[in-house]
Amino acid sequence: MLTEEIGALGKTLERFGASFHFAPVGMAVISAEPSSLGRFLQVNTAFGRITGCSTEQLLATTFQVITQPDDPAAGSRCLEKAVRGEPWAFQTEKRCVHADGRVAWMLLNTWAVPDAGGPPLCFFSEVHEVTAQMVVQARLDHQSLHDTLTSLPNRALFVDRVTQALERERPGRLDTAVLFLDLDRLRDINDGLGYTAGSQLLVSSARRLSEVLRPNDAVARVGGDEFAILCQNVGSESAAVALAKRALDAIQEPVDLGGEAVSVTASVGVAFASSGSTDALTLLSDSELALRRAKERGAGGHAVFSAEMRSHTMQRIENERALQRALEEGQFRLHYQPMVALDTDKVTAVEALLRWEHPERGMVQPLEFIPLAEETGLITPIGAWVLEEAARQTLSWSSSFPVRPLRVSVNVSGCQFQAALVDTVRNVLARSQIDPGSLCLELTESTVMQDVGEAVATLTALKALGVAIAIDDFGTGYSSLAYLRHFPLDELKIDRSFVDGLGRDPEDTAIVAAVTAMAHALELSVVAEGVETAEQLNRVRVLGCEVAQGYHLARPQHAEAMGQLLAAEEEGAFNASPGVGGRMGSRRSTKDTVVIADDSPDVLLLAEVSLAAAGFEVHTASRGAAAISLVRAVRPSCVVLDVTMPDLSGVEVCRQLRADPSTTGCTIVMLTANELVADKVEAFSAGADDYMLKPFSPRDLVSRVRAAVRRKSRGPLMAAPSHIDIGTG
Ligand code: C2E
Ligand code: CA
Ligand code: CA
């Protein structure tokens, strides 16, 4: 019986031993004796596989020894806790160095095997290898805290590091600074050279920044084109600023982007932690405010944060709220300024000008709040209100003055000028029932030139509604009548800066004359803005403008006053007082001769009219070869050459003129639509004196040619032949 029992027990133990040894998961029995705590008492084959050790090796060592050097303390603590009877089971992840040298990760479930009443009999561990999972996890952890493109820490990790640095701040010491840096032209690079080039630029900037750091500093990529640097133990403000400048210099070094050496600048804001009172996010946002200030001062600079910058931002936020409130609470008003037709001296239109009746500040002028409204996007609802109110007023006037059609012009900001504007205008027209022709939208050139294709579509849709379109402030932007021809326009408003010089500055006279002539050629009517004197009124009349607007005629006024003015005019009391007919601005007595060659008829027309009006004798050619003959015949003081013409390039014409002794004396100005440095170099090495970009304004052209002629007149003068007979084809 006993033998049978012993036999059965032997069988059980054998089965149990075999199951232990051949189990697919690692298993270990570990000593719980205080004198040999952690020693392996039994291990199975799978455990040996995980650790790479033989059973003998494992039985000769302890749990603490085989785990990584930085792990055993924690391991022993777990065991000690278990001995004290604290948790009877625990789960840990531990590393061990596998016999082949690699690090293996183990997931251990360990529990104390209880003994009746006393300390545990032993520990039992069940062990799984989790190296692959841990590697993936580590990669994920890294990814969540690093930027994949540059491998730099990301914003989250940076904030964490700044937090740690701030915890180490020593009272009264200048320890921690954050530098916020932003590339000035990443978008241009992306647009011009492609995203790959943009990415290359970011990677190289990241590398360069890492190279300028001091040992304890850290750099992170915190936004698309933004990097932040954490400086520790700064010591002094100047040390941080010096680092900021080094960073800017490093970025500015030319970088090879797809075979092209490109140099970009960056701007940087610097903020210091004021011991104890700052948290990481505040410090980061302070440095960002300083960056914004640096950018306001121009690209490529630095600024140090000051409390005033924060109050500036708070003020802006407050202003934005106030503007929003103004809209909700109806604090906006429209004033109206008459526009007077110069043939009848009658008010035929008014311009609606926005005012803000501020509860404390009184009447606020548009230039004080429109820029903020534009930046914040509030201009769209404000602009819609302006349209609505102007249309309402127009309807009211049309019933008070039924016999005179009065048009209202409304200013439209660049940011309002989108496809949605068409719907807004359509709704306003539908609701107010005004004649669409009595509404005119004023847009600046820069607004329509932002995206020419889109602008043509939007303007065409607006025109289809029956409203009129005017170009405002003409002469201050691109001033390209050649481009404007593509837009369906009705009116051109010459900026008041030109009207201002009438009678004083011959150049302004020339420009107003030229622009008026060309606008008429495009069948646009011309409004002279800012007419402040009788003399100016007289001159714009003589120069052919159809309409005048300005303080001399009437100031902007509220609707009621405007109504009275219209009523008075009906009774004949208001009159734009036709001035005495005057002669056009003083012409030069001896004319300088200019030859201009360009294959674009628009450019030739613009140049011819504006230069002639400025007192030059102008000859034009549309081909390079014709230009050369023309120059030989008329011996001009100045030659203006388009770089690309169908037969000879401007550069080639320039070269031939310089090679011919009879034509070397003139100054040569090159005209081109592109900004490539190589082209400039080529033009100058062919003998050009100046270089001008298209599109240009009449004012630019006149002043360039003036300068060129002055330069020339210092050299030997050539006699111009008295008779000219050359075709320009
Ligand atoms: P703007 O469109 O060029 O409007 C003409 C500005 O010139 C008005 O200034 C007008 O008061 C002023 N002005 C008129 N005649 C004379 C003159 O003889 N001499 C001088 N020195 N100035 C004269 P205001 O009303 O201050 O408007 C300034 C600018 O604000 C406008 O320039 C326009 O760009 C913008 N603005 C005004 N109302 C609106 C609006 O409802 N929406 C948008 N988006 N912008 C508006
Ligand atoms: Ca305007
Ligand atoms: Ca204007």
> Cα(427) to centroid of ligand 2, in Å?
22
All residues at 6 or more sequence positions from 479 whose CB lies less than 8 Å from its CB, including other chains = 445, 695, 696, 697, 698, 699
Task: Summarize the confidence of residues 513-535 as an average pLDDT.
Answer: 92
**Ligand approaching nearest to the C-alpha of 473:** 3
pLDDT value of position 577: 46
Mean pLDDT taken over the chain: 87
Beta bridge partners of 616: none
3-state secondary structure of 536: helix
Residue 362 in this model has a pLDDT that exceeds 50: yes
Task: Summarize the confidence of residues 284-302 as an average pLDDT.
Answer: 91
Q: Is 472 in the pocket of ligand 1 (CB under 6 A)?
A: yes
The per-residue DSSP string of 430-486 comes to: HHH---GGGEEEEEEHHHHHTTHHHHHHHHHHHHHTT-EEEEEEETSS---HHHHTT
Distance CA 631, CA 634 (A): 5
Residues 594-617 have pLDDT tens digits of 999 999 888 888 888 788 878 888
3-state secondary structure of 216: coil
Q: Is 370 in the pocket of ligand 1 (CB under 6 A)?
A: yes
CATH number corresponding to 593-713: 3.40.50.2300
Tell which CATH classification among 3.30.450.20, 3.40.50.300, 3.20.20.70, 3.40.50.970 matches the domain 23-135.
Answer: 3.30.450.20
Confidence of residue 694 (pLDDT cuts 50, 70, 90): confident
Q: Is 354 in the pocket of ligand 1 (CB under 6 A)?
A: yes
> Torsion angle of alpha carbons 553, 557, 559, 564, nearest 10°?
-50
Distance CA 715, CA 729 (A): 31
Residue 580 in this model has a pLDDT that exceeds 70: no
Q: What six digits make up the tokens of 465?
A: 């509604």
pLDDT value of position 722: 31
Pairing state between β 491-494 and 525-528: parallel
Residue 582 in this model has a pLDDT that exceeds 80: no
What residues are neighbours of ligand 2 (ion), with CB under 5 Å? 411, 442, 472
Count how many Cα atoms sit within 13 Å of the Cα of residue 510 in the half-sphere of its side chain.
25
Which of 527-536, 566-575, 651-660 comes out lowest in average pLDDT? 566-575
Q: What six digits make up the tokens of 241?
A: 């600023």
Residue 723 in this model has a pLDDT that exceeds 70: no
Q: Is the peptide bond before 695 cis (omega within 30 degrees of 0)?
A: yes
Neighbours of 501 (CB within 10 A): 17
Confidence of residue 503 (pLDDT cuts 50, 70, 90): confident
> Cα(497) to centroid of ligand 3, in Å?
10
What residues are neighbours of ligand 3 (ion), with CB under 5 Å? 472-473, 529
- Structure letter (DSSP) for residue 173: S
Cα–Cα nearest to 597, from 551, 555, 634: 634
Task: Summarize the confidence of residues 694-716 as an average pLDDT.
Answer: 77
All residues at 6 or more sequence positions from 140 whose CB lies less than 8 Å from its CB, including other chains = none
Tell which CATH classification among 3.40.50.620, 3.40.50.300, 3.20.20.450, 3.30.830.10 matches the domain 330-493+553-570.
Answer: 3.20.20.450
pLDDT value of position 728: 32
* Residues 337 and 285: beta-carbon distance below 8 Å: no
* Residues 303 and 270: beta-carbon distance below 8 Å: yes
Please name the residue whose Cα sits nearest to atom 37 of ligand 1.
353
Confidence of residue 32 (pLDDT cuts 50, 70, 90): confident
Residue 192 in this model has a pLDDT that exceeds 90: no
pLDDT value of position 404: 81
All residues at 6 or more sequence positions from 654 whose CB lies less than 8 Å from its CB, including other chains = 641, 668, 670, 683, 686, 687, 688
Confidence of residue 573 (pLDDT cuts 50, 70, 90): low
Find the distance separating the first CA and the last CA of the chain, reported in whole Å: 130
Q: What six digits make up the tokens of 6?
A: 């012993």
Domain residue extents for the chain? 23-135, 146-305, 330-493+553-570, 593-713
Neighbours of 88 (CB within 10 A): 14
Q: What is the phi/psi pair of residue 29, to 5°?
A: -105, 130
pLDDT value of position 63: 85
Task: Summarize the confidence of residues 75-88 as an average pLDDT.
Answer: 65
Q: Is 550 in the pocket of ligand 1 (CB under 6 A)?
A: yes
Give, for ligand 1, the residue of 335, 353, 387, 388 to mutate: max count of ligand atoms closer than 8 Å to Cβ: 353
Tell which CATH classification among 3.90.1150.10, 3.40.50.800, 3.30.70.270, 3.40.50.2300 matches the domain 146-305.
Answer: 3.30.70.270
Give, for ligand 1, the residue of 411, 425, 536 to mutate: max count of ligand atoms closer than 8 Å to Cβ: 411
Residue 589 in this model has a pLDDT that exceeds 50: no
pLDDT value of position 83: 66
Residues 193-237 have pLDDT tens digits of 889 999 999 999 999 999 999 888 999 999 999 999 999 988 889
Which of 173-177, 179-183, 276-280, 593-597 comes out lowest in average pLDDT? 276-280
Per DSSP, the chain holds a count of helices (H) and strands (E) of 27, 27
Regarding predicted confidence, which is higher, 82 or 221?
Answer: 221
3-state secondary structure of 351: strand
> Cα(500) to centroid of ligand 3, in Å?
13
Which amino acid type is present at position 143? Answer: Q
Please name the residue whose Cα sits nearest to atom 2 of ligand 1.
411
pLDDT value of position 173: 81
- The answer for 250, left when phi > 0, alpha when psi is -120 to 50, beta otherwise, is alpha
pLDDT value of position 19: 93
Q: Is 338 in the pocket of ligand 1 (CB under 6 A)?
A: no
> Cα(717) to centroid of ligand 3, in Å?
43
Residues 407-456 have pLDDT tens digits of 999 999 999 999 999 999 999 999 999 999 999 999 999 899 888 889 99
| Nearest atom (ligand 1) to Cα of 529 | 15
Residues 370-397 have pLDDT tens digits of 999 998 899 999 999 999 999 999 999 9
> Cα(517) to centroid of ligand 1, in Å?
25
Count how many Cα atoms sit within 13 Å of the Cα of residue 311 in the half-sphere of its side chain.
3
Please name the residue whose Cα sits nearest to atom 11 of ligand 1.
556
Domain 23-135 shares a fold with domain 593-713: no
According to the 3-state scheme, what is the secondary structure of 20-53? HHHCCCEEEEEECCHHHCCEEEEECHHHHHHHCC
Name the one residue in this structure whose structure tokens are 């590697």. 135
pLDDT value of position 322: 95
Which amino acid type is present at position 348? Answer: T
Confidence of residue 141 (pLDDT cuts 50, 70, 90): confident
Please name the residue whose Cα sits nearest to atom 10 of ligand 1.
556
Please name the residue whose Cα sits nearest to atom 17 of ligand 1.
530
Confidence of residue 76 (pLDDT cuts 50, 70, 90): low
H or E element, residue 195 = helix 195-212
pLDDT value of position 683: 86
Q: Is 413 in the pocket of ligand 1 (CB under 6 A)?
A: yes
* Residues 76 and 38: beta-carbon distance below 8 Å: yes
Task: Summarize the confidence of residues 184-194 as an average pLDDT.
Answer: 87
pLDDT value of position 77: 67
> Cα(442) to centroid of ligand 3, in Å?
8
Task: Summarize the confidence of residues 621-645 as an average pLDDT.
Answer: 91
- Structure letter (DSSP) for residue 500: H
Task: Summarize the confidence of residues 619-644 as an average pLDDT.
Answer: 91
Which amino acid type is present at position 333? Answer: R
| Nearest atom (ligand 1) to Cα of 379 | 44
Note the pTM of the prediction, 2 decimals: 0.56
How many residues does the structure list for the chain?
A: 729
Q: Is 366 in the pocket of ligand 1 (CB under 6 A)?
A: yes
* Residues 480 and 473: beta-carbon distance below 8 Å: no
| Nearest atom (ligand 1) to Cα of 416 | 44
> Cα(699) to centroid of ligand 1, in Å?
23
> Cα(578) to centroid of ligand 3, in Å?
23
| Nearest atom (ligand 1) to Cα of 493 | 3
